[in-house]
Structure formats: C-alpha cells, structure tokens
Amino acid sequence: MNKATIVAIPLLLVLLASYASNLWAADDVKQKPSTRHPASQHITVVAHRGASGYAPEHTLSAYKKALEMKADYIELDLHMTKDGELVAIHDATLARTTNVEQVYPNRAPWRVRDFTLAEIKRLDAGTWFNKMFPQYANKQYRKEKIPTLQEVIDWLARSRSKTALYIETKDPNIYPGMEEKLVGILKKNRYLYLQKSKVIFQSFSEASLRKLQKIVPHDIPLIQLYSPAMLKGQNLDDVLDRAAEYAEGVAPDQSLVTLEFVQKAHKRHLVVYPYTVNTKEEMLKQLSLGVDGMFTDYPDQLVELNKKKFTAKSLVPIF
Ligand code: G3P
Ligand code: CA
C-alpha cells in the first residue's frame, strides 16, 4: 500500500462517518416536532396496584416490590369505610381480595362502605393471591391487611424512597367528601406542599377531578381516565379539549391508544398513560405510539425497557 492510500483510507472513513452522523442528526431534527413522541425520553413506570403481578394487589408487600423494582409511582385506588377512613382497595366490595365471606358470612354484598376500619382490619388480604398465583405465593402474604392511605404514607416516608403516589378516587359519587378527606390527609402529612412532585391524582370521574382542581395546588397533576365505553361514539377532539380544561394528562385503556390519539393529546399538552400494559409486546407497541408512561402489574419489565436505547425514528428499542 503506498503512502497516498494510507492517508486516503482514514480520511475517507472520517468523511463517511461525518456524512452518516449528519444524516442521523437531520432525521432526528425532522422527528423532533412530532407530537407523537413522549414529552420526556423517560417513560414513567406506574406500578398498577403496586407490583400486583408479583404480590397481592394493594398490600404493603406489593408496594414494597414496586419500590424495589424502582417504579416511578405506586398506583393507589381509594375507597371509604363506613367510619370515613380512606383505604387502598380496587373493588367497591371486599369479596375478591379478602376472606370477608368467611369472616362475615351474613354481610353480603360485602361493600367497603358497609364495614368499619376495625372490621376490615380483621381480614386477610393475601391468601387469595397465594391460591390464584401459586408461582408467586409467599406465606407472609397471609398476614397482609388492607392498608389505609395514612399507613401507606407512613410506610413510604419510612422507606425514604423516591417513588411517588398515583392516587385514584374510586366511585367518588358514593363517597361524598372523599376529595376533601384525601387532600386533608395529604396536607396533614405535609405531603402536598413539601413534595409537589410526589403525587398525581387520577379518576374516571370528571366531576371528582374538577373538584380536586379547586382544592389542590396548581402544580399537582390531574389525570383523566378513560374506559372504552366512555369514548364510544365520542369525538376525540371534543373529548381531549374538555380534558385539557382541568387535566394535565389522560389515561386511556391501552386499546384506545393510536398515533392519532397520542398526537392529539400531545397537541393539547396532555401526557398519555395507558393502562394496564402487562406484556413486553404490549409495552413495545405503546412505546412505538409515543406514550409518556404506562400502568403495569410488572413494573420491572418496563424499568428494563427504559434502560434500552431507542432509535430516534420509531422509539423502538435496540436490543
Ligand atoms: O388507574 C389506571 C387503571 O388502574 C384504571 O383501571 O380498574 O385498574 O382502576 P382500574
Ligand atoms: Ca386504578
């Protein structure tokens, strides 16, 4: 190889690399204005009912696993007891996730609102999980109780974790004063004012969110949840215009998410958090549509995907 060739080859390589890098940069710039992309490159990981794929939902064990898996948020569904305590449970009744039918056989339909906190504290909130998911069973779960909001706050404070709360007002129409009670508890714990970035409120109820909007500081995000039935026959522009009046984001069932949905939401500065995204394939699909975060029962899987590098073009991870 002569001297001229020895000099020319590296030079050619440098020029080629520079050309490729310019092409990539141009592509990146072209992509930036897209309303499809998430508001942040970090996809928010919301542990749905805690890490509920691995431990009984809405128990401290499920929340602890969510912390260990480094979820950004623990999702908390709230109902109210007969004596006005806010407790973390998804269903309006105690039957599916506790042994209430054995402990109180004559109290059907076992509604949360018909039981005092002391009565609810007698229930086992973990054995059902061991039976249903033997692969994740743990003897300790038999001791799990339904936690109050206050207990969750105390536990989270003790953990010194950065994980925040993503609180849902469930069935607020049957619990008058629920929002005021919720905000009162957070204020009493200096939670709202000292840790503004540590709580998000969500609800399927627009009325509940509008009520919260009036009584919480402006920088606490409010998220409107949508089931497929809620959007059936609705004009998407009208729906999102309405949400933008009071919410910072929307959380649709994952089946509702399309490129059009995400673009229209982002155009209105609404973040998009679909629920409940549990398989890797589903997560990749939602990522490719440009969502900002997801509710999942398996937060470790989404945390793992967050570590991958994504192409600027499609937000599909490079494995
Ligand atoms: O809050 C998001 C998602 O949890 C809504 O559905 O029924 O699991 O509360 P659900
Ligand atoms: Ca929920």
Q: Are 214 and 187 in contact (CB under 8 A)?
A: no
**pLDDT value, residue 35:** 62
Question: How far is the centre of ligand 1, averaged over its atoms, from the C-alpha of 76 (Å)?
Answer: 9
**pLDDT value, residue 193:** 60
Q: Examine the pLDDT at 25 and tell me if it is beyond 50.
A: no
CATH of the domain at 282: 3.20.20.190
Report the C-alpha gap between 292 and 133 in whole angstroms: 30
pLDDT over 90 percentage in the chain: 77
Q: Does the Cβ of 295 fall within 6 Å of ligand 1?
A: yes
Residue owning the nearest CA to atom 2 of ligand 1:
275
Q: Examine the pLDDT at 4 and tell me if it is beyond 80.
A: no
**pLDDT value, residue 310:** 58
Q: Examine the pLDDT at 11 and tell me if it is beyond 50.
A: no
- pLDDT band of 196, cuts 50, 70, 90: low
Is 100 domain-assigned? no
Closest ligand to Cα 91: 1
Q: Does the Cβ of 57 fall within 6 Å of ligand 1?
A: no
Q: Does the Cβ of 48 fall within 6 Å of ligand 1?
A: yes
Residue owning the nearest CA to atom 10 of ligand 1:
90
What is the reported pTM?
0.86
**pLDDT value, residue 36:** 62
Is 28 domain-assigned? no
Strand blocks (E) in 17-139: 44-47, 73-80, 86-88
Structural domain of 234 = 43-88+151-315
Q: Does the Cβ of 77 fall within 6 Å of ligand 1?
A: yes
Q: Are 28 and 276 in contact (CB under 8 A)?
A: no
**pLDDT value, residue 219:** 84
Q: Examine the pLDDT at 38 and tell me if it is beyond 80.
A: no
Q: Which residues are catalytic?
A: 48, 90
Is 240 domain-assigned? yes
Least confident segment among 18-22, 40-44, 153-157: 18-22
Output DSSP code: residue 147.
P
The per-residue pLDDT for range 98-150, each reduced to its tens digit, is 999 999 999 999 999 999 999 999 999 999 999 999 999 999 999 999 999 99
Give the residue carrying structure tokens 């994504």.
Answer: 310
Is 201 domain-assigned? yes
Residue to probe by mutation, ligand 1, list 52, 223, 276, 296, most atoms within 8 Å of CB? 276
Is there a cis peptide before residue 299, judged by omega within 30 degrees of 0?
A: no
pLDDT over 70 percentage in the chain: 83
Is 10 domain-assigned? no
Question: How far is the centre of ligand 1, averaged over its atoms, from the C-alpha of 170 (Å)?
Answer: 9
The per-residue pLDDT for range 233-255, each reduced to its tens digit, is 999 999 999 999 999 999 999 99
User: What total of structural domains would you count in the chain?
Assistant: 1
